[in-house]
Structure 1
C-alpha cells in the first residue's frame, strides 16, 4: 500500500498564497490504496529551503502509490509571531478541507499522514480536528516535529497538538526548556502524543554548541548559518525525521523512561517489559488498538516518553550502549570515580565517555551508565577502560598516601538494537585510579 502525506511549510519568500491550496493530483487520481502525506513547516521559513526538498524526496522514495502535498502558508506567517499563531486557526481549517477532499476522491482517511514542524505541528492539529468534527473520522497519523512552545505550552488540549488529533500521534522534541523561564527555547516540553520522543533529553542537541561563525562555516551561507545558530536544536527534529527514512543501516531506537537523567543511568533499558520504540518514520503504537473518534467513552492512550542519544553530526543515528561495572566484595571500600570506556569492534571504535557526575562505586555492588556511538561494531575485540578519581572538594579533604583502588570483577556491555550482552572480566588484583586497562571479552582468568 502506498502513502499520501501532507507537509506544511511557511516562509517570507513564497510562491503561493495560503488562500490558493496546492493543486490536487489529477493524473492519476488518488485511490483507496494511495497513502497521502501532508507537510507544513514553521514560522518565517522559505519554501525553497533544502530541508523541505530533502524530506519530500525521502517520503516519495518510501514506495509506490505515495503522494506528498506541501502546504505553503508563508503569506499567513509574517511577523509578528502572535499574528502567525492566530492565523494557523484559519489555515488549519483550509488544510482540513483539503483532507476532506482527498477522502471524497477515494483516499482512506487511515492512510493520511500529517506532518508539521514547530508552529506547523499545531496547524496540522487544527486541520485534523476540523476534519474529525466535520466528517466524524480521524486521519491515520499526525507527526509533530518539535511543536512550538511559545503560546502553546501548558495550554488546554484543544489549543495545541494532542493525542486525540489522529489515530496515532508521534512527536519528536528537540529544543525544550528545562525551566519555565528559559525563553530562548522554541519547543514544548510536555508530552503531546501517543509516543513522545526526547532525543538527547529533548534539550540542546549534540553538535549544536559552538559560535555563530562555526555554524556559518558549516552551512556555507551567512543566512543559513545564522538560522542554524539560532535554531540548531529546533531544526534537529526534521533532520532526524528525514534520516529515519534515508538511513537504511541504523534505526533511532529509544526506551520509555521517566526522565533523561534516569535514562542515562541505565535504569531504563531493554525491550523486554518496557516500551522500546523506533523514532521518526518507522514509529508506531506499541500495541495495535482501535482508536475511535473521541467522545465515545474510550480511555485515552497513555502518553509515553521515549529517550535516546544521537551523534552530533550526520549520520545522527547511534547505537545505544549500557555499561555496567561490577565490583567484588574484597577490600571493603568504594570510590567516587569516573570511567571512560572505549569499545573496539571489527568495523569501528566507539568511546563511551564517563557520566558528567562521578559515580559512587560500592564494594560488592554495581553501577551502570549509558553511551551511544555510530553504527554497528560487528563483534567486540576488546574494552579499554580509563579509571579517573573524582577531584571534588570532599575528595580533596581526604588525605591519600596512594591513588584509590577498586576490586573490579567485570565490565558488562549491552547493545539495545540487538540485545547482545558481552562480559569483560577483570583478571587483575585491583584497578587503580589514574591507570588504563584493556579487557578481553569472556576471558578466562587464571
Structure 2
C-alpha cells in the first residue's frame, strides 16, 4: 500500500481539493439560541439552542485525547434532513421534522414495522450511492420504514467542527424517534440505526438521547468503521458504546493509527466487534491509484476510493451481508494472529461447550444473540460480556464473503523424511468437497519445514460442502540469493493434512498415497477421520 507519510499527505490534499469544490455557504445568524455566558456569565462552556438542548465543551468533551472541541453549529446551518422511504414510496423523500407534527402524522410511516435509520460520515451527504443501495436492499428484504439522515450542512471541513455537529444531529434524531413513539406508538426497540464513520457515533447520540430524554431504548446500532480521530480513548458518553442500544455490533476495517493513514477505531466499542482481515487494512485496497482511476469516471472519485478504500469497505461488507447467500462467519479470539494460527476455531454449542462464540458479521449478527440467548436462557447473553472481538477473512473484491477452513499440515518423521532432513519451500492447497472445489489456496509463508513439525493456518475460500479430498501443492522459489539455490529437486515428506470446516462443523484428516511430494499430491481420507469439530 502507499507509504504512511504519503498516505497522510494525500489525505490532506484530498480534503483541500474537496474543500475547494464545496460552495461557500453564507453564515447563518443564530436567531434562536442563547449563550449562557452572555446572559448571566455563569457558564462559558455551555451553548444552548432552543428545542435541541445545551452543549458543553468542558470535560469529558475536552480532554487529553480530544484537546480541540467546538460547539455544534446552529441547527439552521446544519439543517439535517430526515428522509422517510417505504415500499410504497421508495424513491421519493418524505421529510420528517421532530418539531413539526404534521410532517409525521401525514407521512406513510408504518409504526408497527421495523424502522432503519441510516447515517453517513464526514464529507458525505444523504444522496450517496451506498445509502441508496442499502436503503433499497432493506426495502427489498422486508416491508419496513427507512429513514436516511442527510447532514451535509454539518459534515464539511474542518473535521473538528463536523465532530461537534453530530452531537446536534444525533440529538435531533433521538427527538424524532421519541416523537414518533409518542404520536404513533412506534416502538424504539424495533429501531435499528446503521452509521458509517462519524455516522456511527451519531448513532450513539441518538441512542443516548432516547435514554436520557425519553426513558426509551434503541433496539440496535450497527457501527461501520467508527471514526477514530477525537473519539479513541474518550469517555463513553463522547463516543459510541454498548449502552447506547440493546445490541451494538461493530465492523472495524481501517484501524491503523491516524498518523499512518487510518480513519477507523481499533478499540472495541460494541457488544460484538468484528475485525475482518484483522481490521487494519483490507485485501484489494493496496491497488495503485491508477487502478482506482481506471475504475472511476473522475479523479476526485478515484482519489476518494483510493484513500478511503479500507474505511468504506465496512459498508460494502454490510450491504453484502443482507443477502442470505453467504454467512460472513466470524470467530471470537483475542488477536488476529492467534485466529490465523488456528488457536480459535470451532463454535460454542451444546455438543461443543468449550468452543468459541461465533457470529455472522454484518446484518445478521443479531442471530448470535438469539442463538446463545436461547441456549443460556438469557434474553441478552452479551450484556455481561460486551466488547467481544471476532475475526474473519474476506475476499479482495465483491463478492467478499468467504468460508473458513483450518488447515494443519504434519511433516512426516519417517526414516526417509529424517534422512532427507528439512526443506525450504511453500505449500498451497485445493480443497474438494461434495458440492465444489476451491481455487488453489496459498498456505503459510515460504519457510523451513523440519521432519515431525506441525503447521496450522486458517484460510478462506468458497464453500465446497463436506470436504472429501484435496490436492496439496509444493514449490520452492528460486531468487538471485545463492543461498536459496538447490542442486537437487526439493522434496518434502508429508504425513497427513487435517482440514476443519467452520461452517460445516466438520473435520477430516487426509493422507497422501506416498509421503514424498515433489510437486503435488492428491490427498484422500486416511481412515474414519470425518468427525465434528470438538475443542
TM value normalised by structure 1? 0.85
SS in 2 for 1:368: strand
- 1:40 corresponds to: 119
Q: Which has the larger radius of gyration?
A: 2
Contact 1:125 1:162 in 2 (8 A): yes
Structure 2 residue 494 is the aligned partner of structure 1 residue 408? yes
- Please state how far the C-alpha of 1:290 moved relative to its aligned partner: 4.8
Q: Which residue among 252, 258, 265 is the counterpart of 1:188?
A: 265
CA displacement, residues 110-134 of structure 1 (integer Å, 9 cap, x when unaligned): 1111111001101111111111111
Deviates more, 1:107-116 or 1:326-335: 326-335
- Indicate whether 1:155 and 2:239 are aligned: no
The residue number in structure 2 matching 1:363 is 451
Task: Tell me if the contact between 2:282 and 2:313 (Cα under 8 Å) persists in the aligned partners.
Answer: yes
User: Is residue 244 of structure 2 the alignment partner of residue 244 of structure 1?
Assistant: no
Cα 1:25/1:310, change in 2 over 3 Å: farther
| Corresponding residue for residue 309 of structure 1 | 393
Distance 1:441 1:251 in 2: 27
Residue matched to 1:7: none
Deviates more, 1:114-123 or 1:218-227: 218-227
Equivalent in the alignment of 2:277: 200
Q: 1:51-130 maps to which residues of 2 (within 5 A)?
A: 51-64=130-143, 66-104=144-182, 105-130=184-209
Deviation at 1:77, TM superposition (A): 1.2
Task: Give the aligned partner of residue 164 of structure 1.
Answer: 243
Closer, same or farther: CA 213–136 of 1 in aligned 2, 3 Å: same
Matched, 1:350 2:415: no
| Distance in 2 (alpha carbons) for counterparts of 1:317 and 1:58 | 17
Matches within 5 A, 1:177-326: 177=256, 180=257, 182-246=259-323, 248-272=324-348, 273-284=355-366, 285-286=368-369, 287-288=372-373, 289-290=378-379, 300-326=384-410
Q: Does 1:422 align with 2:508?
A: yes
Q: Distance in 2 between matches of 1:174 and 1:26?
A: 40
- Per the TM alignment, residue 206 of structure 1 is displaced from its structure 2 partner at its CA by 1.0
Deviating more after overlay: 36-45 vs 20-29: 20-29
Task: Provide the C-alpha distance between the structure 2 equivalents of 1:151 and 1:137, rounded to a whole number of angstroms.
Answer: 28
Instruction: Give the distance between the partners of 1:12 and 1:197, measured in 2 at CA.
Output: 35
Report Cα offsets for 1:245-273 as digits up to 9, x if no partner. 13x32111011111111111111111131
Which whole-Å CA distance do the structure 1 matches of 2:521 and 2:298 have between them? 46
> Distance between the aligned counterparts of 1:291 and 1:353, measured in 2?
40
Deviation at 1:188, TM superposition (A): 0.6
Structure 1 stretches lacking a partner, 5+ long:
1-10, 293-297
> Highest relative contact order (Cα 8 Å, sep 6+), 1 or 2?
1
Which runs of 5 or more structure 2 residues have no equivalent in the other structure? 1-20, 26-76, 83-94, 97-103, 349-354, 529-535
Structure-2-length-normalised TM-score: 0.71
Tell me, yes or no, if the aligned pair for 1:380 and 1:441 is still in contact at 8 Å: no
